[in-house]
Amino acid sequence: MRHIFASTTLLSVLVLGSCTDAQSDDKPGKGKKNKDKADDLTEELVPGLQKVGEMSKVTESSGLARANTAGTFYTHADAGNEPLLYKVDMTGRLLERSQLPFTNVDWESLAQDDKGTLFITDAGNNNSSRRDLAIYRLNPGTSETTKIRFAYADQRAFPPGKKERNFDCEASIWHAGKLYLFTKDRAQQRTSKVYTLPDQPGDQTARLLTSLSIPGEVTDASLSPNGQRLALLGREELFILDGSDLASALKATPRRFSLKGAGQTEGAVFLDDQTLMISTEEGFLYQYKIPQ
Collect all residues with Cβ–Cβ distance below 8 Å to 171 and sequence separation of at least 6.
108, 109, 181, 182, 184, 192, 218, 219, 220, 221, 232, 233
Please tell me the distance from the alpha carbon of residue 232 to that of residue 111, in angstroms, as a whole number.
13
**Type and span of the H or E element at 280:** strand 275-280
pLDDT for the residue 176: 98
Structural domain boundaries in the chain: 3-289
Look at residues 160, 210, 208 and name the one whose alpha carbon lies nearest to residue 186.
Answer: 160
List the alpha helices (DSSP H) in 47-172: none
Rounded Cα distance, 38 and 145, in Å: 41
Q: Closest Cα partner for 278 from 221, 205, 211?
A: 221
List 171's β-bridge partners, or say none. 182
Burial class (CB in 10 A: 0-12, 13-18, 19+), 278: buried
Task: Check: CB of residue 183 under 8 Å from CB of residue 218.
Answer: yes
Third-level CATH fold of 3-289: Neuraminidase (2.120.10)
CA distance 210 to 194: 5
Query: Are 220 and 214 spatial neighbours (Cβ–Cβ below 8 Å)?
Result: no
By the 10 Å C-beta count (0-12 exposed, 13-18 middle, 19+ buried), 151 is classed as: middle
pLDDT of residue 32: 38
> For residue 33, what pLDDT is reported?
38
CA 41 – CA 64 distance, rounded (Å): 19
Measured CA to CA, the distance from residue 111 to residue 118 in angstroms comes to 6
Grouping H, G, I as helix, E, B as strand and the rest as coil, residue 279 is strand
Q: What is the pTM of this model?
A: 0.86
End-to-end Cα spacing for the chain = 46
pLDDT averages per 10-residue partition of the chain, 292 residues: 39 33 48 38 74 96 96 96 97 97 96 97 98 97 95 98 96 98 96 98 98 97 98 98 98 97 97 98 98 90
